[in-house]
Amino acid sequence: MAEVTVKELAENVGTPVDRLLGQMKEAGLPHSNETDSVSDEEKQALLAFLKKSHGESSGGPKKITLKRKVTTQIKSSSLGGRAKTVNIEVRKKRTYVKKETTVPVEEEQLVSPSKREEENAKLEAARLREQEEKAKAEQQKQAKIEAEEAAKVTPSGEAAHSEQPAEPSEQRTEAVDAEEPVVNVETAVAETESTGEAAETVKVEVVADSTDEKSDSTSKNERKTGKEAKKEQVKEARSAREEREETRRPSKKTKGEAVVKEAVVHHKPVERHKGNKHQQILEMLDDDGDFSGGRRSRRRKSKRREHQFQQPTQPVVRDVSFGESISVSDLANQMSVKSAEVVKVLFKMGVVSNPNMVLDQDTAILVVEEMGHKYTLINENQLEENLISFVEENVGEELPRAPVVTVMGHVDHGKTSLLDYIRKTRVAAGESGGITQHIGAYHVETANGMVTFLDTPGHAAFTAMRARGAQSTDVVILVVAADDGVMPQTEEAIQHAKAAGVPIVVAINKIDKEAADPDRVTSELSAKDVVPESWGGDTQFVQVSAHTGQGIDALLDAVLLQAEVLELKSVVDARARGVVVESSLDRGRGSVSTVLVQTGTLRKGDIVLAGECFGKVRALLDETGEQVQSAGPSIPVQILGLDGTPTAGDDFIVVESERKAREVAEFRKEKARQNELAHQQATKLDNLFADMTAGEVATLNIVLKADVQGSLEALRSSLLKLGNEEVKVNIVSGGVGAITESDANLAVTASAVIFGFNVRASGQAREIIERQGLDLRYYSVIYNIIDDVKAALSGLLSPELREEIVGVAEVRDVFNSPKFGQIAGCMVVEGIVYRNKKIRVLRDDVVIYEGELESLRRFKDDVQEVRNGMECGIGVKNYTDVKVGDKIEVFDIKEIARTID
């Protein structure tokens, strides 16, 4: 490279000649004139000096590279089936470069003298100069010093030269440095904050540290002010948010939680600024005192408060309420003691118990008193009584109501056809085999008034309803086919109607038929005590034809006339009450119950209690399936909304509240369960004798079904031969074929056992048998039936009662205890003295008192029994005249069953 003069070099780098000469002097070069030539070596020397003066030689880090290494393993199975583990190392590198803005451009120009580079250098130098001057203007003091230093400069001042001229450039560098790293740090912080890499932030701050103390402090200050600014922002945001929260308070918790949730769900590190936000929300919520932190602290506080136990100053006396019986555990619960406590007390009273044991009312009272509590006796029927009184509030004007009619008669005599004709719909055609499969109810308008029909499939439902004491029918239409006459089911219908005290209107049907013989029917019915008015009786007979419609109007008139005689009236404006006709579970609609309103008006939305079911009436449907808003007396409706399917014949009633309905329903369920248990015991063949009352002729009622007529007759005669003057067999019903629903219902009403000889019960019959706990027995050998009945009748014979003395105690001493009254100190001389068995007091072997023991104690303990040779204390109930020398005899009564020879 060719040599240049100082002036040319100054022009090339865009620096004043004087300044360049000064720098050259500092670098130890001999140049003092602008015309002096500068060699390449000198240029290099000047460059080295300048670099040094700008701190390059200090070797301070210009860049920091952060490395992160993550090693993971991947396991793969090779073809040979051997697992292969591959280590994967992921290296991340991040480099932070300190901006090289302070390097004087002159130096670059010195080493790159080409024209293009020179121009670039010029531009860069110009920019630098501008910055430099700016810095100068800002730091006047430094400029002054610079000026002073410049003035001090003397050509001989080597030392001064070597130090002072460097200062301005150093300071200049510092000034730039002081700014640049701050910028860098802030950017770095912003970067790392947004990615959550806090570690990098720290490193970058170190860069600033190592670079320049001043810059660090400045950046710290700046950061500090930045923090304060943030604080201010947070505060502002907080107050703004608080204002916003005031207006839409309910959403704040959700928002705060949502931030956390999001972070958790996506496994993202919570961003710092978002974290701050979250923190703010938490803080705000805490301020409000209704978020977790606040709650927790409050809980802690309240816990502390709870723990401050205060000993009660006097024993807590609790009021315990129970009915006829209560279990030990329930009693304990009510007294707030452990069951074991009650068991202990009972044990002291001589009763061995367990928590599940049910105590009778008297025992429960003793326990409660013993434990120092009060008791209230509950009338268990209170609920029902309350319900009745609630219903009796149903006062209002009684208005005439439509009669409710049940059509009964033998199979195929035309019941459905008759009803079909009356309501002008063809129900019969739609039925399988023409037999009515459903129980329904509907009302029809006639020219003379309204009539409600209960459409039943014969007598079963009527019997079932009757068995539950449901009096739903006002009039029975007895259908008898004029061509067939009185048949078994006709007779049955008559019996049912008479038993229920329901007037009959006879419809002699199929009068259109050639074979019709109404007179025969009339005479046959008269023989059954159904006598027409024309023959001096009180029953209306109407000849009808369900096919031609002949006599149907007359029949309806007869029914309405009968209703008039009955003076059927009912309150309309009152809470509804009535009877359940049928109910079923519909797949789409749930429980669907057909009910007949008997009094009052049932409305949509009413709370209905029907038997053991209850619910709010969701919808009311009439017989055509149309929704209605209400139903008055004698109107049948379907109700939707009950929680179950009540049984046909159950009463339904509108109650004040769902709570009340539930309470009574629960009570009824429990009662029914108990009744069922009791009933199951009573109707078992083996237990029948328990029902017998002394002096009466006991009867074993049997419903007998056989496969063929021959066996039926054989069985009937054999069974009827059994028995004597004390017991007898009564075959309530005997027939050929399967055991039907009707048979089961009959067995319920007659308290009969059911025998099936080579026949089985139908599904519906089995359901009733199971529900009612009837005794059903299947046989295939006649002698087995006879043997069983003989055995049952043996049970029915009055058992022989024999007395057995089980223990004797001699009275050795008598004393009075203020707590237990008179106590006889005894020695057991025979057998065992039992606490719960009957006793007699004998004086000189003559019975002077018969009764029970009040207490039996050994030493201080109540005991159940005391054996021979042991001493005991006996308190005799209601007897205070025991003397020394008396004997207390404990006896048992044993029943010895007799058999028929």
Residues belonging to the binding site for GTP are: 409-416, 455-459, 509-512
Closest CA to 344 of 316, 367, 374: 367
* Smallest gap from residue 712 Cβ to ligand GTP (A): 24
For residue 362, what are its two tokens? 């008297």
* Smallest gap from residue 769 Cβ to ligand GTP (A): 23
Closest CA to 463 of 736, 675, 635, 648: 648
Instruction: Please state the three-class secondary structure of 57-122 as a single string.
Output: HHCCCCEEEEEEEEEEEEEEECCCCCEEEEEEEEEEEEEEECCCCCCCHHHHHHHCCCHHHHHHHH
Q: Using CA atoms, how far apart are residues 329 and 357, in angstroms rounded to an integer?
A: 8
On the 0-12 / 13-18 / 19+ scale of CB atoms within 10 A, 505 is buried
Q: Rank residues 6 and 480 by Cβ distance to ligand GTP and give the closer one.
A: 480
For residue 821, what are its two tokens? 């009254």
Q: Which amino acid is at 368?
A: V
| SS3 label, residue 711 | helix
Please answer whether residues 835 and 853 qualify as being in contact, where contact means their C-beta atoms are separated by less than 8 angstroms: yes
Please answer whether residues 555 and 604 qualify as being in contact, where contact means their C-beta atoms are separated by less than 8 angstroms: no
Q: Rank residues 409 and 485 by Cβ distance to ligand GTP and give the closer one.
A: 409
* Smallest gap from residue 339 Cβ to ligand GTP (A): 58
Please answer whether residues 610 and 652 qualify as being in contact, where contact means their C-beta atoms are separated by less than 8 angstroms: yes
Complete DSSP assignment for 315-344: PPPPEEEE-SEEEHHHHHHHHTS-HHHHHH
Q: Rank residues 414 and 600 by Cβ distance to ligand GTP and give the closer one.
A: 414
Instruction: Please state the three-class secondary structure of 687-703 as a single string.
Output: HHHHHCCCCCCEEEEEE
Q: Rank residues 171 and 416 by Cβ distance to ligand GTP and give the closer one.
A: 416
Residue written as token pair 């329903």: 665
Taking CA atoms, 418 is separated from 7, 413, 441, 482, in Å, by 138, 9, 14, 14
* Smallest gap from residue 477 Cβ to ligand GTP (A): 11
* Smallest gap from residue 475 Cβ to ligand GTP (A): 18
Q: Rank residues 220 and 547 by Cβ distance to ligand GTP and give the closer one.
A: 547
| SS3 label, residue 853 | strand
Q: Rank residues 284 and 460 by Cβ distance to ligand GTP and give the closer one.
A: 460
* Smallest gap from residue 740 Cβ to ligand GTP (A): 13
For residue 311, what are its two tokens? 């000993």
Distance of CA 540 to the CA centre of its chain: 58
* Smallest gap from residue 424 Cβ to ligand GTP (A): 15
* Smallest gap from residue 550 Cβ to ligand GTP (A): 8
Complete DSSP assignment for 558-627: HHHHHHHHHT-EEESSSB-EEEEEEEEEETTTEEEEEEEEEESBEETT-EEEETTEEEEEEEEE-TTS-E
* Smallest gap from residue 555 Cβ to ligand GTP (A): 12
For residue 446, what are its two tokens? 């006639």
Q: Rank residues 395 and 515 by Cβ distance to ligand GTP and give the closer one.
A: 515
Query: Residue 597 pairs with which residues in a beta bridge?
Result: 578
Q: Rank residues 514 and 845 by Cβ distance to ligand GTP and give the closer one.
A: 514
Q: Phi and psi at residue 184, in whole multiples of 5°?
A: -60, -50
* Smallest gap from residue 402 Cβ to ligand GTP (A): 22
* Smallest gap from residue 493 Cβ to ligand GTP (A): 11
* Smallest gap from residue 668 Cβ to ligand GTP (A): 33
Size (the chain), residues: 901
Distance of CA 266 to the CA centre of its chain: 33
Enumerate long-range contacts of 181-186, CB under 8 Å, 24 or more apart. 181/98, 181/207, 181/208, 181/211, 181/212, 181/215, 181/216, 181/219, 182/208, 182/215, 182/218, 182/219, 182/222, 183/99, 184/96, 184/98, 184/99, 184/208, 185/219, 185/223, 186/219, 186/222, 186/223, 186/226
* Smallest gap from residue 413 Cβ to ligand GTP (A): 5
Q: Rank residues 219 and 545 by Cβ distance to ligand GTP and give the closer one.
A: 545
Q: Rank residues 241 and 547 by Cβ distance to ligand GTP and give the closer one.
A: 547
Q: Rank residues 555 and 613 by Cβ distance to ligand GTP and give the closer one.
A: 555
Q: Which residue ranges are tagged as binding site?
A: 409-416, 455-459, 509-512
Q: Rank residues 417 and 742 by Cβ distance to ligand GTP and give the closer one.
A: 417
Strands, E, within 218-340: which ranges? 319-322, 325-327
Count CB neighbours of 107 within 10 A.
Answer: 20
Residues in contact with ligand GTP by the rule CB under 6 A: 409, 411-417, 428, 434-436, 458, 509-510, 512-513, 545-547
Q: Rank residues 245 and 483 by Cβ distance to ligand GTP and give the closer one.
A: 483
